[in-house]
Amino acid sequence: MFKNRRRPMKAICCLVLFLVPFSLFSADKNDYYQLIQKTYQTGQYQEAISKMEKALDEYPDEADFYSNLIFFYMHAKEYEKAFPLSQKAYQKFPSHKFVLDAVRWVWSEYGWKFYREGQKKEAYALFEKNYALFPEDIYCINAYGVLLKEKKDYPKAIQIFESGLKKQPDFNYILENLSWTYYEYGSEFLDSGNQEKAFFYFQKAFEKGNKENPATYTAYLYKLSHLKKLDLGINTILPEAIQKFGFADDVYQSGFWLYFHNALFYQDSLFQDNHFSKMLNALKDLYQFSTRKKMPYINDPHISFEQAAISLFNNLLKSSVQKICPYWRKLNSQDEKKLSEALKLLKKDLPKNLNFLSSQLLGLTLYREGKKKEARAELEKTYQMALKLVEMEKVVISFPLKGMYCAGNNESFDSVTHMGLDQYSYDFYGCDESGDMLKNKKIKPENSSNEDWLGYNALIYSPVEGKVIDSQGENPDDPPFLKELGKGNFIYLQSSDGKIYDFYHLKQGSLLVQKGDEVKKDQPIARLGNSESFFPHLHFAVYSRDWLITYPVYFTNYTLIKNGKKEKVKEGRPGGIGGMDVILN
């Protein structure tokens, strides 16, 4: 961001010349000087231009005719004529005071014109020349500082802007440009990991910035979020911004992300004293703040910031429970106590429409206590409560795999990753007609390698057109039945109607698309793997656009194999509730 300011259009005429008796000049030249004087009095520059052009033809060595014609062009906004004439005048009269005044004005205006039109090289050349000629001029200082800022020579730009402020401390345009230079310089330090220096320059930027401009506050708030200076942002700067500007869009958005980063900070340090409890309180604060304004979410205008806050609350809550105790382990007494205390805190003052979150925490805890039946019943309540916030939709698509697979695990009785809000997730395992998943039946599963499993390395196809909104493909595949799993590879694909397609446990290094890619229907996107999994399979689900619930998915045109018989299915849901079916696609 930069600010330029036009020099006030002063009627700079060569008054000294009028003190000289007209008898020194020919009658015609006197007439031209009288015309100049009259034009500055009447402001009728356009009418005088043609006469002054004639004067310059008649008197090509008259410096004052050059300077005044240039001024007339500028006042009449005939910049295309003023610029070449200023260049010619400067070459002819490089030390003439009024020519230099004209040159300074024209080159400044034309420099900004080039700048606005994207002709940066030409703009920089004029700014640099102007500053070299007029290093004491506040407008030339401002333009030259912008040049240096744009070239990312921040130390020198700061030096130039600060020299301008010494001459004129209240010059707002330099103040604002200096402020944004501090921000950009601070961002360089932030990117390089020097948070102390970054904070120093962000503070100076805020100090110099225009406090009547909400951008001064919001820029600082975003930087404080990145620096994790969250208390300063939440308790001091954000209240000041709200007091001045209310919940203006930019103030509201920067406040939202400040509260979000506050919750994220506690989740990142979850195992420090009371940080789980602090995270829950921070998420409540985030939600309460989000309700202060009805506004489309910046990352998806089809949902509100309030809906986004609910989604973030849900995702951080689930991932925090997973951090404390992965779903494949049972709770120890210490973690059981931690989750029990968290549930009490979560329920306290929880808005009624968020009760599904406390239900979910209870269900996830019951599962880790080994109470799968009770967990499933509670998590079914979670899903039904969440339906008050998101409307259920039926999804009908083709299979994401080709060949023979065991398919199902919807509304699972056994796996928590297929219960509650995730209950319509599918698992696909490569198999033969009898449902056996190993290529060699003599190999014991616990002694197998990934390559021993049918389906491993199979191509996965996108069942819809869409855009990859996130992906990860470099985590290693786990050996089968590892006690502690690693991290998973995935592709999250969003279709044009907002639904999010989740492909998980992908093979390391197999991704054929990356974040930002557009994907066509039936396009190969990755291979089936065993990242963060006990044995090779594809975990697949379709989520609402806010990631809150999974939708029931029905597949088209496949063959169901049961008891040795094959049945063509136009549209169906393999496995039904909690079961698995062998299908051929």
The residue type at 428: F
Maximum Cα interatomic distance, the chain, rounded to a whole number of Å: 121
Rounded to the nearest 10 degrees, the angle between the axes of helix 79-92 and helix 63-75 is: 160
Quote the pLDDT of residue 535. Answer: 94
In the chain, what percentage of residues exceed pLDDT 70?
A: 95
SS3 of 473, please?
Answer: coil
Q: Where do the domains of the chain lie?
A: 15-168, 209-386, 395-584
Quote the pLDDT of residue 343. Answer: 95
Q: Are 459 and 402 in contact (CB under 8 A)?
A: yes
Closest CA to 508 of 483, 481, 528: 528
pLDDT tens readout for residues 130-180: 999 999 999 999 999 999 999 999 999 999 999 999 999 999 999 999 999
Distances (CA, A) of 383 to 368, 378, 419: 19, 9, 9
Q: Are 545 and 300 in contact (CB under 8 A)?
A: yes
pLDDT tens readout for residues 379-421: 999 999 999 999 999 999 999 999 999 999 999 999 999 999 9
Q: Which residues of 299-335 are buried (b: 16+ CB within 10 A; e: fewer)?
A: ebeebbbbbbbbbbbbebbbebbeebbeeeeebeeeb
Please determine, for residue 26, whether its predicted confidence score (pLDDT) is greater than 60. no
pLDDT tens readout for residues 421-455: 999 999 999 999 999 999 998 999 999 999 999 99
Class of domain 395-584: mainly beta
Quote the pLDDT of residue 321. Answer: 94
The residue type at 65: F
SS3 of 212, please?
Answer: coil
SS3 of 293, please?
Answer: coil
- The pLDDT-based confidence of 564 (bands split at 50, 70, 90) is confident
How large is the average pLDDT for residues 489-505?
97
Quote the pLDDT of residue 271. Answer: 79
CA angle 549, 553, 559 (to 5 degrees): 160
Average pLDDT taken over every residue of the chain: 92
DSSP 414-462: S-GGGSGGGTT-EEEEE--TT---BSSTTS-GGG--GGGBTTTT-EEE-
Tell me, which fold does domain 15-168 have in CATH? 1.25.40
Give the whole-angstrom CA distance, residue 290 versus residue 247. 11
Which residue did the predictor score with more confidence, 28 or 15?
28
pLDDT tens readout for residues 234-280: 999 999 999 999 999 999 999 999 999 999 999 888 778 788 899 99
Quote the pLDDT of residue 27. Answer: 42
Please determine, for residue 469, whether its predicted confidence score (pLDDT) is greater than 70. yes
Closest CA to 289 of 276, 305, 303: 305
> Residue 196: how many CA atoms within 13 Å on its side-chain side?
0
SS3 of 500, please?
Answer: strand
Closest CA to 502 of 510, 514, 493, 489: 493
Task: List the structure tokens of 415.
Answer: 């796996």
**13 DSSP 8-state letter:** -
Helices (H) and strands (E) in the chain, counts: 20, 15
The residue type at 368: R
Please determine, for residue 21, whether its predicted confidence score (pLDDT) is greater than 50. no
**550 DSSP 8-state letter:** B
Task: List the structure tokens of 27.
Answer: 């009658």
Task: List the structure tokens of 299.
Answer: 């990352």
DSSP 66-77: HHHHHHHHHHTT
Task: List the structure tokens of 92.
Answer: 């002819």
Residues facing residue 531 across a β-bridge: none
The residue type at 203: Q
Q: What are phi and psi of 582, to 5 degrees?
A: -90, 125
How large is the average pLDDT for residues 99-121?
92
In the chain, what percentage of residues exceed pLDDT 90?
A: 89
> Residue 366: how many CA atoms within 13 Å on its side-chain side?
20
Give the whole-angstrom CA distance, residue 280 versus residue 346. 7
How does strand 553-562 pair with strand 395-397?
A: parallel
DSSP 36-97: HHHHHHH--HHHHHHHHHHHHHH-TT-HHHHHHHHHHHHHTT-HHHHHHHHHHHHHH-TT-H
Please determine, for residue 2, whether its predicted confidence score (pLDDT) is greater than 80. no
Q: Are 392 and 549 in contact (CB under 8 A)?
A: yes
Q: Are 439 and 462 in contact (CB under 8 A)?
A: no
- Stretch among 24-28, 63-67, 482-486, 520-524 having the lowest mean pLDDT: 24-28
| 3-state per-residue secondary structure call for 343-409 | HHHHHCCCCHHHHHHHHHHHHHHHHHCCCHHHHHHHHHHHHHHHCCCCCCCCEEECCCCCCEEEEEC
Give the whole-angstrom CA distance, residue 128 versus residue 148. 10
Give the whole-angstrom CA distance, residue 355 versus residue 377. 16
CA angle 550, 556, 562 (to 5 degrees): 100
How does strand 300-304 pair with strand 296-297?
A: antiparallel
Give the H or E element holding residue 556.
strand 553-562
Query: How far is C-alpha 456 from the chain's CA centre?
Result: 36
- The pLDDT-based confidence of 8 (bands split at 50, 70, 90) is very low
Distances (CA, A) of 332 to 326, 329, 368, 378: 12, 9, 9, 21
